[in-house]
Structure 1
Amino acid sequence: MSANDDYDKLSPEEREARDKADRAREAAEQAALPYKWTQQLGDVDITVQVPRGTRARDLSVMIQKKKLSVGLKGKEPILSGELCKEIKLDDSTWTLEDQESILIHLEKFNQQQWWENVLTHHPKIDTTKIQPENSKLSDLDGETRAMVEKMMFDNQQKQMGKPTSDELKKMETLKNFQEAHPELDFSKAKIS
């Protein structure tokens, strides 16, 4: 039996408790890494702290399609290894900020996929639990925006045990028909 089968048999309270424990474990594992990282669907941003007063010439940063190595020249790398997914080399960059942190921007090759980790040997995160930052609905074209708003409304309605927009539309149509035809008896009608 896989962990997912086991998860499906849990009550909502047990799922919430397990999710909370998993998030706490993930947070602890990620906090122990020698860097901080965030991601969007299209890119990954990594921040690596270095001693205050560090200059770019003191650094050894190597970014390759599937490898990353960052550190101070002449010392063990702070992080080094195989990237979990391929990147677009020409669109990936690094900069030294305030002589104390290296900001690395990696452009994902596959921009429709969440990364489980930065380097393959580091702890993974559960990508199914990622909640992407809300893009503004105003950024979407009219048709897409209407579809997203309908989906959001229907999802909220279902969570509250209320009818979806399609069900509301059917109920409204039926109500209007009943009002237009008071002579008809709908008391035994089966409505689905």
Structure 2
Amino acid sequence: MADDKELTPAEEAAARAQEKAEQDSLPYKWTQTIGDLDITISVPGNLKGRDIVVDIKKDSISAGIKGQEPMIKGTFPHAIRTDDSTWTLSAAPGNTKVIEIHLDKINKMEWWAHVVTTAPKIDVTKIVPENSKLSDLDGETRTMVEKMMFDQRQKEMGLPTSDEQKKLDILKKFQEQHPEMDFSKAKIS
């Protein structure tokens, strides 16, 4: 919402209902995670892959049935990785098929308000992300998150964090190497 005032529950419900109606009226459905975005477009079941036209670029998309107006066409609000973005045509219930388009976001820390900039926006502040598993994270991020979780548990138990423990270990090693020095008044910060 443009203004920063709190909405009443009724206004909030109306805003959500309007958003849902706008999204439901689109000729495609879409979902996203923080790292990627998936679009599905229902088409007649007698179509083959050669009847479908999908053009995915770093900053735009055009997709639909060959010889017809695209069902989705426009500029992305943010860039994607074209090498990791794909599309397939799959059978669906009834006499239909579904064009499934997978887009790999370049910025994996950003929610999209819409697939293309001409489409109605959703309120990204209302997105409740699914819990990710540590195994989903890349090595460096996983290590950082595990360290943060360890440090949080240590603090809760009144124990030293990993950085504080490192300092204590260095001091202990130094003390063992220099028994002639008095460390009784040493402070670690």
Fold-level match, TM-score > 0.5?
yes
The worse-fitting range, judged by mean Cα deviation, of 139-148 and 26-35 is 139-148
State which of 120, 124, 127 in structure 2 corresponds to 1:130.
127
State which of 31, 34, 41 in structure 2 corresponds to 1:48.
41
Give the Cα separation in 2 of the matches to 1:138 and 1:83: 29
- 1:3 aligns to what SS in structure 2? coil
Q: Which runs of 5+ in 2 are unaligned?
A: 137-141, 159-189
The structure-2 alpha-carbon separation of the partners of 1:147 and 1:72, relative to structure 1 and needing over 3 Å to count, comes to farther
The C-alpha deviation readout for 1:97-138, integer Å capped at 9, x for no partner, is: 116100000000111100000010000011111101122478
Alignment partner, residue 101 of structure 1: 98
Alignment partner, residue 21 of structure 1: 14
Give the Cα separation in 2 of the matches to 1:18 and 1:78: 32
Higher helix share: 1
TM-score w.r.t. the length of structure 1 is 0.67
Give the Cα separation in 2 of the matches to 1:95 and 1:143: 40
Q: Which runs of 5+ in 1 are unaligned?
A: 150-164, 170-192
Give the Cα separation in 2 of the matches to 1:105 and 1:96: 12
What is the RMSD of the two structures over their aligned residues, measured on CA atoms?
2.6
In the TM superposition, residue 51 of structure 1 has moved relative to its aligned partner by 0.9
Listed as ranges, the matches of 1:145-156 within 5 Å are 145=149
**1:3 counterpart letter in structure 2:** D
Listed as ranges, the matches of 1:110-129 within 5 Å are 110-129=107-126
Give the Cα separation in 2 of the matches to 1:142 and 1:89: 31
Contact 1:138 1:145 in 2 (8 A): no
Alignment partner, residue 35 of structure 1: 28
Give the Cα separation in 2 of the matches to 1:55 and 1:93: 17
- 1:90 aligns to what SS in structure 2? strand
**1:133 counterpart letter in structure 2:** E
- 1:111 aligns to what SS in structure 2? coil
- 2:44 aligns to what SS in structure 1? coil
Give the fraction of aligned pairs with identical amino acids, expressed as a percent: 47
Alignment partner, residue 79 of structure 1: 72
